[in-house]
Homo-oligomer: A and B are copies of this chain.
Amino acid sequence: MASGGVKVLGSNYSPFVNRVQIALNLKSVEFEFIHENLNPKSELLLKSNPVHKKIPVLIHDDKCICESSVIVQYIDEAWTGNGLSILPSDPYDRAVARFWAAYYDDKLSPMVKELRSVKEEERAALVERIDEGLGLLEEAFVKCSKGKAYFGGDHIGYIDIVIGSSFGWITAMEKMSGKKLIEEAKTPGLFGWVDKFLSNDAVKDVIPTTEMFLQLLAKMQAKPTAS
């Protein structure tokens, strides 16, 4: 087991891992990134996350914390010194943040993933459901941001991290398919937010560029499948 300090076990292309990197950056916590290629899973991963055997894992002074949303909340609670909170301080605002983060993970994100494999005749209905979800998220953005740049207001907060971390992949998917998921006319708040989030100092060197995602996808498609 890796000893002492702060380590993140993960892959740069995982939005779940990116959540953890962004949260640590926001808190100005230095950490070592240990690349896990998952094929095969390393002994460190199997030891540090024996239940799910998945990335990311945060290793803090030899304690292992798993599951990205649990890790982000841990980071918020373990490093309180620099004055910046990932979750808001008011209990109701905290509940709202947890609600929309869970909505994204449990409802909206699975629908967006389904876009890659949906049958052509079912695509229109799926897109309609996604549009409804994005409409709800737009309303949440307007309420939470109160005219500021992020769901968290002036700075990136919990909803920004949980949802925004997927927008490397989503932007690459938009580029590949030629279809925009977030349209300025339909969800102007979210449309502006995506750019601000991806270019934020805590984010811009964490989430791979669209070009990098497209190269990875091309490489995956070119790989012969095992027989």
A binding-site residues for B, Cβ under 8 Å: 51, 60, 63, 65-67, 69-71, 73-74, 77-78, 91-92, 94-95, 98-99, 102-103, 136
* A66 CA / B165 CA spacing, docked (Å): 24
- Of chain B, the residue at the smallest CB distance from A99 is B70
- Contact yes or no, B99 A66, CB < 8 A: yes
- Contact yes or no, A91 B70, CB < 8 A: no
* A99 CA / B95 CA spacing, docked (Å): 18
Interface of A is mostly: helix
- Contact yes or no, B95 A71, CB < 8 A: yes
**Residues in B whose Cβ lies below 8 Å from that of A98:** 67, 69-70, 73
* A103 CA / B66 CA spacing, docked (Å): 11
- Contact yes or no, A136 B51, CB < 8 A: yes
Our pick among B51, B71, B95, B103 for the contact of A73 (Cβ within 8 Å) is B95
* A96 CA / B131 CA spacing, docked (Å): 36
**Residues in B whose Cβ lies below 8 Å from that of A92:** 60, 63, 65, 74, 78
